[in-house]
Amino acid sequence: MTIALFYKCSLFQKLSNNLSSFLARNWTFVGLFCLAMSATKWIVGGLKQPFDSNDCLNYIPPPHEVERNQIMSGRSENTDSLNTRERLLLAALKSFGHNDFDAVSTREIVEIAGANISAISYHFGGKRGLYLATAEYMAERMQAKMKPLMESIRSQLVYSDKDGCQELLKQLIHGFVHNLLMGEVSEDAAGLIFREQNHPTDAFDFLYDKFMLPMQTIYSMLVARITGADPDAKETMLITHSLLGQIVIYRMGRETILRRLGIKRFSADDVNQIAELISALSLKALNGESYQVNQNDL
């Protein structure tokens, strides 16, 4: 009798320890844990503090455990996984935007995103896939900001005369300047863009196709309408690239001009003044006129 009781108590102790450890590791099998504990209660009997199945129901797994179970169970993308994917992309944009590819740590990315390390493989297949997806995500967000303005300009080009096209060019310049200098992803995007310009990878295809080419195309169309040239002519493309360079230099060479001006960052008024100045310089150049500092232009 004593041996049997000792055996039952030992069995209960062993089951309780093993199942408690298992429960802490994997919330998916909580139901099995509840069933096992109920069976143990029946075997031993007479417990002073009966097991309460509500303890299982009240157990709340930590976020990383929930995410791991979702990934391991192979669920299709739902709201939670989409949120995780976007958090990873935003974290990756910050990391890749300020560091070379080899210097970026995936563990730092998942820590910033509040995700599990397995999420990168699940959503992107690995670090390289995450980098490519980040470039595409960045290009799509920048393009989305400019798309309404670019579509509006394209629709008005059909019936706009030279003066109308000059006004449309000013609108495009203002939109691009504001997006590049004060856009929501511009702070982190610049480093990745300039790195791809110097050492292009497959990620450059996303940047070019989704943002750079549409911008260059609409810009060339306006330049051609103002000058009477062919929008697809080599000279028109070179002029377009030169005019766009006036805008890009304010982001690529931002620290230089901020130091010269004695300020730490551009204000909204600064950005407006830059856009007006670039508009005036561009239109003067396209019309073959010399530019003189005029307060009416600024």
Average pLDDT over residues 128-137: 95
Encode burial over 114-131: b for 16+ CB neighbours within 10 A, e otherwise: ebbeebbebbbeebeebb
What letter does residue 266 receive in the DSSP assignment? -
DSSP assignment of 148-191, as one string? HHHHHHHHHHTT--HHHHHHHHHHHHHHHHHHHHH-TTHHHHHH
pLDDT at 290 over 60: yes
Q: What is the pLDDT of residues 95-130, one digit of tens each?
A: 999 999 999 999 999 999 989 999 999 999 999 999
**Model-wide pTM > 0.75:** no
**Whole-number pLDDT of residue 146:** 93
Is there a contact between 66 and 98 (Cβ–Cβ < 8 Å)?
no
pLDDT band at 31 (very low <50, low <70, confident <90, very high): very low
- Cα(89)–Cα(112) distance, integer angstroms: 11
